[in-house]
Chain A
Amino acid sequence: MSAGVARPVPAQPVPAAPVLSVENLSLAVGPLALVEDVSFDIRPGEMLGLVGESGCGKSVTALSILRLLPEPPIRIASGRILFGERDLAALPLDRMQPLRGREIGMIFQEPMTSLNPVFTIGRQIAEPLRLHLGLGRSAALVRAAELLDLVGLPEPRAALDRYPHQLSGGQRQRAMIAIAIACEPKLLIADEPTTALDVTVQAQVLELISRLRREMGLACLLITHDLGVVAQICERALVMYAGRIVEEAPVLELFRQPRHRYTRALVDTIPARNRPGARLPAIPGQVPAPGARGEGCPFEPRCAAPVSRCGPERPPLAGPWPHRAACWNPAA
């Protein structure tokens, strides 16, 4: 997307206050740190990508914002999750329920397991409308049909009476999105929303999320392992590795001038950025497990250009916003 530098919201004298501010968040299981010292903001109308490989901590970070982690065994060890005036990290769990689905919408990877198989699509979209907005049964169904129309499901009125198994994967994900945006939340958290979908359907669903974000001014946190998806619809992205944010940058810069050696290696190893058939610049070794991340930079054992302080000393996320990286020997 060549318009990646353009801001979705017209420039204002003072930048809008963030919808969500995560400050120095750490998550742990017993003595093991899963996520350490994660900080980021999302502003109204912004699409922020959170990208990383399996086990890097991106999904637990997203679930912690919704307080959907199993607590215990996982606990918020430190940090704040500021959503408006409230610190979600300190909120009693029963106070989260009115927020989820009302002010924070969510979409998960597998629409088949996230939708309830025994209720119609109409009933599942109507549920948050009745629960959070107090709409009556018929008013909720009318609104549900409008929402299905908005997300581009054909014959929305007929779709109300269908069950999840009667829809295709792409239609189910559209229905999930309709549920997520039903109460016009301020923040949408989408965890691998297109990973289970075919590539032509993925393109349509990404376009839908982009459109809703523009039209509703929705702030969106998009979690994905796929740099292609980030390139397609995000303006800014965070790269996580071994439980930490290692780089934060506008998406175009992330691809053109990645600073962290991990981001550099990740971008370079994508087949589409190499000559067909050529040897790929592979990243040796594998992601360290929690508890085996070492004292210094967790990427040091796999890094192409480590320096002496990488092993013993952990690099901080440094550099002028919006492009920051946690690397002692940056690639750019």
Chain B
Amino acid sequence: MTAPLLKVEDLSKSYVDPKGRRVEALRGVSFEIAPGEVLGVVGESGCGKTTLGRTIMRLMEPDTGRIWLCGEDFAAKSGAALKAARREVQMVFQDPFGSLNPRHSVGAIIAEPLIVHGRLGARERVAELLDLVGLPPDAGARYPHEFSGGQRQRIAIARALALSPKLIIADEPVSALDVSIQSQILNLIADLRERLGLAMLFISHDLSVIRHVSDRIAVMKDGLIVEIGPAARVFEAPEHPYARSLLASMPRLPDA
């Protein structure tokens, strides 16, 4: 077996909510992601799936636990070493309206990670990325408000890909989109995986989307992974009682 791209060991995170209550968002979460693999994380609101993504990105600091990225201790890094390691892991958020700066042109938004990391040839790279995500070449000179929700999510994906990361953490990337647009973005994600060999941590509450994109699936409940395994196995023969009841509540569609 190849060495894991990401290895998370016993990750815990608690915080105090606005009402002063202690919330244990993660209670000892461990898993691995292989290079090029998509791990789907599914669970209901409050299960800790968003905290998991943010903690791995180190947008939040974990209380305990280790995060190994490409064999190095990502959780222990700081300063220049953290900045360098961050090139390998990028994030796509749910809200394509809130995650793009409305005052920056699309070209500037996509170029920002390149400039922050001192890469040369940002202009050419932006043109390449626009093409990669299926946006017209003139999109770079326009502003986010000129684009629809689906196109904005393409912009957010182009920005995440700018530094050629090995891992993308996508938190509900298609949940705000209409069905017809959602499938366009799911196809784009599949294309990018194939062309770039990307690994993903794909977080969603939507069971059918998770089933569609994932190689393996982790079911979260109350800050714990209650079940993890190959996607088909978890879907067809869930073992944990919660995983079973979650899957049973999925709306059933009539056969074709």
Contacts and interface: CB of A to CB of B under 8 A. Distances in A.
A59 B143 CA distance: 29
B183 A200 contact: no
A144 to B, nearest CB: 27
Contacts of B184: 282-284
B252 A225 contact: no
Interface string A177-205: 00000000000000000000011111100
A225 B179 contact: yes
B122 interface: no
A269 B212 contact: no
Interface in A252-311: 252, 255-256, 265-266, 269-274, 276-277, 279-284, 286-287, 302
Nearest to A230: B251
Contacts of B251: 202-203, 226, 228-229, 231-232
A286 B252 contact: no
A199 B179 contact: no
A275 to B, nearest CB: 9
A199 B253 contact: no
Contact of B179 (A269, A276, A286): A269
A227 interface: yes
Contacts of B249: 199-200, 202-203
Contacts of B45: 169, 198
B252 A1 contact: yes
Contacts of B205: 198-199
A233 to B, nearest CB: 9
A282 B256 contact: no
B245 interface: yes
Interface residues of A, number: 42
A110 interface: no
Given A228-B253, A271-B208, A276-B211, A200 B44 contact: yes
Interface string B59-99: 00000000000000000000000000000000000000000
A169 B179 CA distance: 24
B203 interface: no
Given A53-B180, A269-B183, A286 B211 contact: no
B213 interface: yes
Contacts of B190: 277, 279
Nearest to B184: A282
Nearest to B180: A283
A228 B211 CA distance: 15
Given A200-B249, A274-B212, A286-B150, A280 B254 contact: no
A273 B180 contact: no
A269 B180 contact: yes
Contact of B183 (A198, A256, A281, A302): A281
A24 interface: no
Contacts of B181: 286
Contacts of B211: 271-272, 276
Contacts of B212: 271-272, 274, 276-277, 280
Contacts of B132: none
Contacts of A227: 179, 253
B182 to A, nearest CB: 8
A53 B176 CA distance: 12
A23 B253 CA distance: 31
B183 A282 contact: yes
Interface in B203-220: 205, 207-209, 211-213
B186 interface: yes
Contacts of A281: 183
A315 interface: no
Contact of B253 (A225, A272, A280, A286): A272
Contact of A225 (B178, B183, B245, B255): B178
Interface of B: 44-45, 148, 150, 178-181, 183-184, 186-187, 190, 205, 207-209, 211-213, 231-232, 245-246, 249-256
25 contacts: A4-B254, A54-B178, A169-B45, A199-B44, A199-B205, A201-B44, A202-B249, A227-B253, A228-B251, A228-B252, A231-B251, A251-B254, A256-B256, A269-B179, A270-B179, A271-B183, A272-B212, A276-B232, A279-B190, A280-B183, A281-B183, A282-B186, A283-B180, A283-B183, A283-B184
Interface of A: 1-2, 4, 53-54, 169, 198-203, 225-229, 231-232, 251-252, 255-256, 265-266, 269-274, 276-277, 279-284, 286-287, 302
Given A252-B254, A277-B212, 13 more contacts: A53-B180, A198-B45, A198-B205, A200-B249, A232-B251, A255-B256, A269-B183, A271-B208, A272-B208, A276-B212, A279-B190, A280-B186, A287-B180
5 closest residue pairs by CB, A with B: A228-B251, A271-B212, A198-B44, A203-B249, A283-B180
